[in-house]
Structure 1
Amino acid sequence: MASLNPNLNVLGTVFAKHLLRRASFVYSKTIIDQFSVLTPSQALDLLLANAPLALPLPYDPTPTTAPDGFWTESTNIPSSFNNQNRKRSVIAGWWWFNAVNSPTLKFKLCHFLSTRFTVEKSICGAATYFYDHIRLLLFYSNGNYKSLAKKMTLDNSMLIYLNNTSNSKSAPNENYAREFLELFTIGKGPQIAAGNYTNYTEADIVQAARVLTGFRVKNDRTVVDAITGIPKGYNVYSSHDNTGFKVFSSAFGNTSIASATDAIGMDTELNSFVDMVFNQQATAKNICRKMYIYFVKSTISPEVETDIITPLANDLFNNGYEITPIIRKLLESQHFYDLDDSNATDETLGGIIKSPIQQISEIVTYLKATIPDPTTNSYEFYVNFWGNFVHDTFLSGANMILFDPENVAGHPAYYQSPSFDKNWISSSTLISKYRLGESLLDGFNRIRGNANLKAKINISDVIKNGNLISNASDAYTLTSELCNALFAQVPDADRINYFMNSFLLQGLEAYYWSSAWGVYLSTNNNSVVEPRLKLLVTKILSAPESQIF
């Protein structure tokens, strides 16, 4: 049976890699070595620790004659700044830089929450509203899912994205009410009749939309939430539906919510609605299923539903929807480390195809890519490296523009059954995914256009000085340790020999490499070792085994 009992053993290298990849966007040998002598509980103590942001604020270095700079802190109306699309990209770059400089669960949980409370950053209002949206996700990443659901209702980006800012008693708009139930919280459940989805009905959406009338965008960001310190929307009672009770179906126990009598009462009414939705066990189960798909694997068998999802959901429900205890229990469990069965066909290690953001984050952090410093070289980071290459070329080509999925359901990898994460691999994404490593190793955009990335993996220097390889002069050791680090599962000797002979030695004897490496160490001339290492690592990074984690 699948087991939530904790894995009490020391992690070791393989499980340390597994936990670090699933729980963080930082993947480094230093942390793997640190975790390998810890139990999962001890490693999670570190992963759940709070740390300040490496980059406190996003900075827009354009126009170069008079940069907009730290525009998110300006008192000017957010929409008054030029080029909102570029600024949204800047914010995504700010988030990613912090993510790859924070070896904690915070950013993985933040990204998970973004797959639940989805907005498309290109159509959610001014870039500064999107910045506030991301900060809200970060604030609750180690917090309370139910509280986030309440706060999200007055998030300026969400108010714009799902049109709730135009939802009024005289012109109801059901968009946000529908997605709040279907996507953000309880989920539909099996349809049992026309307009009846088990967990709620079409009539419930109508009543929810009535509750949600009158919440409006605050364009100047002058209304600030007392708990989060983040700007939010505000209540306009004259637009609120106060025409009697909002009565819900038997799916919610025929709950009746009294209408507010003033603007302050709108918050009380909202709280009653949210409490009603979160008082359903189905809500807790839906959230736990989504968490399992994101952090473990997309296949939820009847056994997993019974032994993992149900008890996790009970815990989530009973602890008031606090996120941290649940994710901790899941990532400590024997099931997460595949220690609860002997079935080799349902492995957890290597059980997920990497998202593009996971892929680039692993490569950059493990192979120590030299990227522009966003503080001292803001233009090179935000425009050349992040904007032109990562955001507009790699992520766009890999079909994962960060925080900008194709619709409110999010990226298909997180919701579209039965393919789920297999959606990351298609004929349209292969070039970007397979040429990412080559681009970073060359320092030029090999996906499209050949422009200078202003970033590079100096691979011979990394191997020499990065403490990644125990004996880099030995061709087999070098190849096997790179494969072990960059693949989710340990490859067999035949696979290692294939990479070593085909790309590092290229038909020569092993002593040739030992001699060439010795020359490099003594002269610092890398003209022989650099192209061979680049070819080897390029082929490892583009191998099928490198696409899973």
Structure 2
Amino acid sequence: MISEEINEGLRESPIKTKNNSNQQAAGLEAYTGTWSKTQAAHLVRRTHLGLKINNLNYARSFSNATDAAEAIVDNAISTPLPDDPQWFSNSNSGDVQDVYDIQFRWMDAMYNGGLRERMKLFWSNHFAVSYSNMNALPDKASDSYASHMYKYWKLLHEYSFGNFKEFVTRMSKNSAMVYYLNNYNNREGQPNEDFARELMELFTLGPKDKDGNDNYSENDVAEVARAVTGWRVNDATLSGYFDESRFDSSSKTIFGVASNFDLDTVIDLIFSQKEQEVAYFISKKLYVFFVSAQPNETVISDLADYCIAQNFDIGEVLKKLLSSAHFYEERFYGCRIKSPTEVFISYLRELEITPTSQLKEYIRLRMQELNEELLRPETVFGWAGYNPPYSDGTPGHYSWLNTNLMPSRWDNLTDIIYGYDNAGNRYNPIRLAEKISDPSNPFTLAEDLAEHLLAPPLDTVGVRKIDEDFAGNPALHPSTNVAGFDSFPEYKINLTKILLGTIPWYEFTANSDQDGNLYYEETFAEAIRQYISYLQQLPAYQLI
């Protein structure tokens, strides 16, 4: 179960309590409301990994949500394939260090990129493949699994947008998938149902339709298993290929239709006979990933209809969802718990900490401990945290946290800004402070940093009340020396006190050297580091 602190924070948040069955929800009609920093930040947080200043400025450069969302999707679609690593061309390569290299390349892409990398994360959960399982396969060439995983990762990049049916077909023939779900062992007379079951349960249909009816029978699973026989893997070319001598060419009856189905035609059948079910299934997963862990059935059904109208073009479906009035309802700002990937990469992007090799290795190890190592999902179902609610209605994102994992998140992030490498290298926050605020105005800086790091509205995040007055000369109290102080909300005053600590507000300013250049004392940077550490330990920081 989710930790009590986060659970309580969500229960008390207006974002949570507003989300009830009596509230009239907006739909997929285009959002035409205010387009400000708040809305643009919400879009960037959901389409990227963390709120990076240049991404926020780009989103704000558009005059409305539709133009911003369409531009972000179009930019993602046009993102070129990455260059292959040198080891990939070496036939003797493929050990676990090369898998780590893929993970590091992906971290870099997440840090520098946008929606394309978030979609790859989505699809790596949907089409789950784990390198650790492939490493143990007896029929695979020695040390080839890293190369298979790299081709799988490239496939996620190449087909994250576009026609979903084509993506399903290509993924079904990908060598890593053929290995992972044991379809290379599926042959006439010796059927293996693993891939057949997951093709329907996890990739296209789900076990139940939106009304709770079975989408397929056990007989359908057995017949689909016969239809997808004959697939093997060539380790030299890293490709799945069809071996007709292993194919069951007799008639199969699937969904009541009899024919000599093979892999391609059985996928055709699924999309033709179960079109509405497929559209609903993938629309629900997209909704849970991009909007809320608690599905809205009406909006999802409408999105499924739109998906069919767009011939399962995922890019067009995303444009519709990300520009909708429903997406911009305030209750969705900071309503979903971050995954470990989102926590770490967001933190680096928000603070503009470039991931070095040493830092990426630190994060890789920490992600293992927090139960989300890239390219190593927990099961064939992926990570529960990204998926729709369990059968009992419990939102999947609750699985990301418990009372043991929460302190680890706090400690890991604090380590990053205070020197995870024990070399005394501390994060310098001055440049970030200069980019997003006025560093010499602690009242403005405290609020701007909090808005930058926290997704929910600041009046909902539970800022600690500070009873002590501001430090310094009472005659210089901000109530009589700071314009507008009397109208500041309570959370802004408390945040400023937390930032300042024992520093008088009027001393929180830059100094000038003999040439007139501004500089800040180390005590200034340390105060901001401690303030960031406080913000990232708020329950609200765990939300996106």
**TM-score band, normalised by shorter chain:** 0.7 to 0.9
- Structure 1: distance between partners of 2:412 and 2:339: 13
Partner residue, 2:374: 402
- Structure 2: distance between partners of 1:309 and 1:236: 40
Partner residue, 1:354: 338
User: Of residues 252, 277, 291 in structure 1, which corresponds to 2:270?
Assistant: 277
Q: Give the match's secondary structure for 1:233.
A: strand
What is the Cα deviation at residue 528 of structure 1? Answer: 1.6
User: Of residues 52, 66, 74 in structure 2, which corresponds to 1:41?
Assistant: 66
Partner residue, 1:494: 490
What is the Cα deviation at residue 217 of structure 1? Answer: 1.1
- Structure 2: distance between partners of 1:289 and 1:484: 30
Taking the TM superposition and a 5 Å limit, the aligned residue runs for 1:432-443 are 432-443=408-419
- Structure 2: distance between partners of 1:435 and 1:17: 26
- Structure 1: distance between partners of 2:42 and 2:58: 13
Q: Give the match's secondary structure for 1:369.
A: coil
Partner residue, 1:95: 106
Q: Give the match's secondary structure for 1:152.
A: helix
Partner residue, 1:448: none
Partner residue, 2:184: 165
Q: Deviations over 1:203-246 (max 9, x none)?
A: 0000010011110011012xxxxxxxxx521011111112x211
Q: Deviations over 1:403-450 (max 9, x none)?
A: 2121111111123521311211212321331123312212315xxxxx
- Structure 1: distance between partners of 2:426 and 2:149: 30
- Structure 2: distance between partners of 1:110 and 1:530: 36
- Structure 2: distance between partners of 1:10 and 1:34: 17
Q: TM-score, normalised by structure 2?
A: 0.82
Q: Deviations over 1:354-407 (max 9, x none)?
A: 1111122222112111333xxxxxxxx1xx2222x0111x21222211121211
Are the equivalent residues in 1 in contact too, given 2:49–2:110 (CA < 8 A)? Answer: yes
Partner residue, 1:309: 300
Q: Deviations over 1:61-111 (max 9, x none)?
A: xxxxxxxxx11123x1xxx436x22211210111221122123x2122221
- Classify 1:51/1:366 alpha carbon distance in 2 versus 1 (closer, same or farther; 3 Å): farther
- Structure 2: distance between partners of 1:525 and 1:26: 27
1:547 and 2:533 are equivalent in the alignment: no
- Classify 1:330/1:45 alpha carbon distance in 2 versus 1 (closer, same or farther; 3 Å): closer
- Classify 1:191/1:505 alpha carbon distance in 2 versus 1 (closer, same or farther; 3 Å): closer
Which residue identity lines up with residue 426 of structure 1 in the other structure?
N
Which residue identity lines up with residue 112 of structure 2 in the other structure?
N
1:234 and 2:217 are equivalent in the alignment: no
Are the equivalent residues in 2 in contact too, given 1:51–1:102 (CA < 8 A)? Answer: no
- Structure 2: distance between partners of 1:525 and 1:6: 46
Are the equivalent residues in 2 in contact too, given 1:368–1:462 (CA < 8 A)? Answer: yes
What is the Cα deviation at residue 508 of structure 1? Answer: 3.8
- Structure 1: distance between partners of 2:531 and 2:234: 54
Greater relative CO, 1 or 2 (CA 8 Å, sep 6+): 2
Are the equivalent residues in 2 in contact too, given 1:55–1:94 (CA < 8 A)? Answer: no
1:325 and 2:316 are equivalent in the alignment: yes
Which residue identity lines up with residue 197 of structure 2 in the other structure?
R
Q: Deviations over 1:323-349 (max 9, x none)?
A: 01111100000000017xxxxxxx111
- Structure 2: distance between partners of 1:30 and 1:533: 21
Partner residue, 2:329: 338
- Structure 1: distance between partners of 2:507 and 2:157: 51
Which residue identity lines up with residue 396 of structure 2 in the other structure?
F
Q: Percent identity?
A: 24
What is the Cα deviation at residue 197 of structure 1? Answer: 6.2
Partner residue, 1:61: none
Tell me which moved more, 165-174 or 30-39: 30-39
Partner residue, 1:118: 128
Partner residue, 2:218: 202
Which residue identity lines up with residue 543 of structure 2 in the other structure?
I
Q: Deviations over 1:119-163 (max 9, x none)?
A: 112223511101111111111112111111111111111111111
Are the equivalent residues in 2 in contact too, given 1:369–1:440 (CA < 8 A)? Answer: no
- Structure 2: distance between partners of 1:197 and 1:461: 56
Tell me which moved more, 4-13 or 271-280: 4-13
What is the Cα deviation at residue 26 of structure 1? Answer: 5.4
User: Of residues 361, 364, 370 in structure 2, which corresponds to 1:391?
Assistant: 364
Are the equivalent residues in 2 in contact too, given 1:120–1:161 (CA < 8 A)? Answer: yes
Are the equivalent residues in 1 in contact too, given 2:511–2:520 (CA < 8 A)? Answer: no
What are structure 2's unaligned runs of at least 5 residues? Answer: 1-24, 136-144, 460-488
Which residue identity lines up with residue 341 of structure 2 in the other structure?
I
Are the equivalent residues in 1 in contact too, given 2:44–2:51 (CA < 8 A)? Answer: yes
Q: Give the match's secondary structure for 2:234.
A: coil
Q: Give the match's secondary structure for 1:256.
A: strand
Matched residue pairs, number?
A: 471
Partner residue, 1:67: none
- Structure 1: distance between partners of 2:457 and 2:81: 33
- Structure 2: distance between partners of 1:54 and 1:139: 7
What is the Cα deviation at residue 8 of structure 1? Answer: 3.0
- Structure 2: distance between partners of 1:155 and 1:452: 43
1:56 and 2:79 are equivalent in the alignment: no
- Structure 2: distance between partners of 1:497 and 1:54: 48
What is the Cα deviation at residue 55 of structure 1? Answer: 5.6
- Structure 2: distance between partners of 1:190 and 1:285: 8
- Classify 1:54/1:543 alpha carbon distance in 2 versus 1 (closer, same or farther; 3 Å): farther
User: Of residues 143, 148, 169 in structure 1, which corresponds to 2:167?
Assistant: 148
User: Of residues 514, 523, 532 in structure 2, which corresponds to 1:537?
Assistant: 532
Which residue identity lines up with residue 54 of structure 2 in the other structure?
T
- Structure 2: distance between partners of 1:122 and 1:199: 31
Partner residue, 1:106: 116
- Structure 2: distance between partners of 1:191 and 1:523: 62
- Classify 1:73/1:456 alpha carbon distance in 2 versus 1 (closer, same or farther; 3 Å): farther
- Structure 2: distance between partners of 1:534 and 1:427: 25
Q: TM-score, normalised by structure 1?
A: 0.81
Tell me which moved more, 290-299 or 524-533: 524-533
1:187 and 2:161 are equivalent in the alignment: no
Q: Give the match's secondary structure for 2:329.
A: coil
Partner residue, 1:286: 281
